[in-house]
Amino acid sequence: MFVAELGDKTQIVILTLSAKHGFKRVFLGAAAAFTILNVLAVSIGVLVYELIPETALKYAVSAIFIVFGILALLPRKEKTEEEEEEEEGKLKRRHGPMITAFLLVCLMELGDKTQLSLVALTAKYSQPVFVFAGGTLALWATSLIGALVGTFLGKSIPRVWIHRASGVIFIAFGIINLF
């Protein structure tokens, strides 16, 4: 979860908002959004675990990880700085930085690979508290990194390499899960 979120669009938005408003309010907004989204993802995972046979879940979870890994490796069209600022500006005019961060994270992460991964992990292991805690702490950590040192990471490591690393890791998790 942690590696997959490094360099993700959400982390870039958190970095941008933090550069303008400081890390505290932006991080708190992002952390609140991830908490709520993860509760939803884990709740759905519990239902899936109860309704779908274990063997089917094993293959479905592996497929999800492999698909996300392949998607992370595919080239993508990056938004220009102007497009990101325009999207961010629309929300900022109506809300402060904490609410803006909360709303942007909710909009960008709903149905994202990390949320779907939490659903899959909860369904596979039937340990919702641990999956929630681990997933939430990982997402909070990436948000904090984005808020505090994201500028350094963005200048030092090209985003394409971060996406490639997360893609390979997701594919590896998918393959390992089959055994």
Cβ atoms of residues 71 and 174 within 8 Å: no
CA angle 99, 139, 34 (to 5 degrees): 40
| Torsion, CA 42, CA 44, CA 48, CA 49, rounded to 10 | 30
Q: Which residues of 28-108 form beta strands (DSSP E)?
A: none
Give residue-wise pLDDT tens across range 74-107: 876 665 656 656 655 555 555 677 888 888 787 7
CA angle 156, 149, 144 (to 5 degrees): 135
Q: Tokens in use for 40?
A: 């939803």
Give me the amino acid identity at 1.
M
Nearest residue to 6 via CA among 174, 101, 138: 138
Mean pLDDT (whole number) for 46-55: 77
**Number of Cα atoms under 13 Å in the Cβ half of residue 6:** 20
Q: How far apart are CA 115 and CA 117, in angstroms?
A: 5
Q: Tell me the whole-structure pTM to 2 decimals.
A: 0.62
Q: What is the pLDDT of residue 133?
A: 92
Mean pLDDT (whole number) for 116-129: 85
Q: Which domain holds residue 51?
A: 2-177
The total number of structural domains in the chain stands at: 1
